[in-house]
Amino acid sequence: MAGNIRLEVVTPQKEVVKEEAQIVVAPGTLGEFGVLIGHTPFMTSLKVGTIRYTDAQGQERYVFVSGGFAEALPSKVTVLAESAERRRDIDIDRAKAAMDRAQKRLDEKSEDIDYVRAKLAMMRALHRIQLAEGRRS
């Protein structure tokens, strides 16, 4: 089936993507999934990772997401993300600073440290850095 699907990626703060795409590939919690025009409807949760899509002109695009939900309909994919950034908008220095802070927390031997939260912060920072440097996460 030829045609484009509408992709919308939104966070509580802003609309990150709203455009036509040939294909959308996203990091579902049960595994990566792809959506083309005419797909069977479904909803799923997302894990930290990268949404890849090919825009209407055939260019591959990337968006970092830190979890959330995706709804696929026959003509539209909507992503509600906790946070999201296009690859070009990632501040690599900020991501590296976040990774350093998370690593310091993980290295501490204190009962006051929330290790799960620190590991999640480390994972988000690592994915952002890899995406910004051209290594897909």
Domains of the chain from N-terminus onward = 5-87 (2.60.15.10), 90-132 (1.20.5.440)
pLDDT at 136: 55
Rounded Cα distance between 73 and 130, Å, is 30
CB atoms within 10 A of CB 134: 8
Q: What is the pTM of this model?
A: 0.83
pLDDT at 118: 80
State the burial class of residue 113 (Cβ atoms within 10 Å of its Cβ: 0-12, 13-18, 19+). middle
> How many H helices and E strands in the chain?
2, 7
Query: Per-residue confidence of the chain (137 residues) as pLDDT tens digits?
Result: 578 999 999 999 999 999 999 999 999 999 999 999 999 999 999 999 999 999 999 999 999 999 999 999 999 999 999 999 999 998 889 999 998 888 888 788 777 777 788 888 888 888 888 888 886 54
Distances (CA, A) of 127 to 49, 77, 114: 6, 22, 20
pLDDT at 1: 56
pLDDT at 135: 66
8 A C-beta contact, residue 54 and residue 22: yes
Helix (H) or strand (E) holding 10: strand 5-10
Rounded Cα distance between 80 and 23, Å, is 18
